[in-house]
Amino acid sequence: MLAAWLALAACDEEPAAVAEKPELAHSWVAEVVNRPERFTERVAAHREGWVAFQRNDWPAARAAGGDPAARAGAELARFYAVLDRANDLAWSRLVTRWSARGLAPGLLQRLADASGPVPIDSPGLLGSDVPGADALGSRVALHQQVRAGQAPAAALVELATRPMLVEPVAETGQSREIEDPWMLETLAMAERAALAPATDDTLFSGRLDGSGGFPALPAPVNDALADGDACRAKVRAIDAELDAWRTALAGGAGPDGRALLDDLRLVDSTRARALVDMAVAALEAQRPACALALGQLALDHESPRAIGPVNSPTLFAVVATAQLYTGRTREALDAIEPIRATYPAVAALDETVNTLVVLEGIDRRGDSRE
């Protein structure tokens, strides 16, 4: 793929014949394929950053500066915001289950009472009578500094792979490791606060037309199964257009344009980005079955556990969140696992969902087969 980027030279190809849908003809993909020289110009200033952005490697894109960095920042803000939604849900379920199970509330309950979408109030959140009050106070203070722009978010991320509090439990002789419930919310806030406008906000986006925006969600159906099916049908309609468009693009492109089309998986990755945009909108519209269908259809099934040009971190975040909303707690862990290694801040969510999975099944008798 990199070879296609580097070998790309300015050329004088004629624009290819366009697909039936006029807005597709004006999309950034059509421009890249039909006018590779323009693409070369667009990426010239921050080529490495764009390479990283195209691969959905946002930390590397951000390090490269310029438009790729600005775009990566926006993606990160959305990524953490989606995960924060999952985190709120996981905490809420954990505490509800915990209470229903009649377990001693301990720190978990007190933390859940204190956490939530509102900013943290004070370092004395849990009082001074609890184990680890000092550690908690320090953590809360750091959150407040990051939210106020007085400390880098990296300072929080550094702490993410260790539990925030360790509570000894006399009855079991073991301890409960409690994760930071505010981590993702603070990171989303920090990323939003640091957002910089990008000059080029269409390249490698999910915008399928010249004016921006992703395909509209189908009208909601007041039944989860039917809503999922409606969104699957919408994707099939999009795919029918994209299939025709892909053929038209390939047929009309010159060698450089075709190389870009294939090597950068332009149609596949744009489709995935558009579906992720739609899935985020579906989550915001309280349509998790739709979001799950869109996310599952966006996934690159040839490498379903890896971040890449088709599978963005937000795709995994959307699928995990939708799985949680639809009761598939264990399945959410499958979606979280691929992003945990690259994004240490996800560790807190991962462990919280781990605990929730165990709690949800604690009274069950397992089944296994060959």
Judged by the rule CB under 8 A, the positions of this chain that interact with other proteins are 101-103, 169, 171-172, 174-177, 224-226, 228-229, 232, 236, 239-240, 243, 296-297, 299, 301-305, 326-331, 333-334, 336-337, 354-359, 361-370
Cβ proximity of 130 and 110 under 8 Å:
yes
80-83 long-range contacts, CB within 8 A, separation 24+: 80/184, 80/185, 80/187, 80/188, 80/191, 80/345, 81/188, 81/192, 82/280, 82/283, 82/314, 82/317, 82/318, 82/321, 83/184, 83/188, 83/317, 83/320, 83/321, 83/346, 83/349
Cβ proximity of 23 and 270 under 8 Å:
no
Q: How many Cβ atoms are within 10 Å of 237's Cβ, its own excluded?
A: 11
Smallest distance, other proteins to C-beta of residue 221, A: 11
Report H helices in 44-179.
47-54, 58-64, 66-100, 106-114, 133-147, 153-157
Smallest distance, other proteins to C-beta of residue 167, A: 9
Residue 257: which H helix or E strand, with range?
helix 255-263
Cβ proximity to other proteins, 190 vs 278, nearer residue? 278
Residue 264 tokens read as 């950068």
Smallest distance, other proteins to C-beta of residue 237, A: 11
Smallest distance, other proteins to C-beta of residue 359, A: 4
Smallest distance, other proteins to C-beta of residue 239, A: 6
DSSP label at 44? G
Cβ proximity to other proteins, 24 vs 320, nearer residue? 320
Cβ proximity to other proteins, 75 vs 88, nearer residue? 88
CA dihedral 269, 89, 178, 118 (to 10 degrees): 100
Residues in the chain: 370
Residue 298 tokens read as 């966006």
Cβ proximity to other proteins, 142 vs 332, nearer residue? 332
Cβ proximity to other proteins, 26 vs 97, nearer residue? 97
Residue 357 tokens read as 């999975």
Report H helices in 130-223.
133-147, 153-157, 183-193
- In angstroms, the CA 280 to CA 274 distance is 10
Smallest distance, other proteins to C-beta of residue 262, A: 14
DSSP label at 310? S
Smallest distance, other proteins to C-beta of residue 28, A: 23
Cβ proximity to other proteins, 23 vs 229, nearer residue? 229
Smallest distance, other proteins to C-beta of residue 177, A: 7
Cβ proximity to other proteins, 49 vs 288, nearer residue? 288
Cβ proximity of 279 and 253 under 8 Å:
no
Cβ proximity to other proteins, 11 vs 341, nearer residue? 341
Cβ proximity to other proteins, 73 vs 215, nearer residue? 215
Smallest distance, other proteins to C-beta of residue 231, A: 12
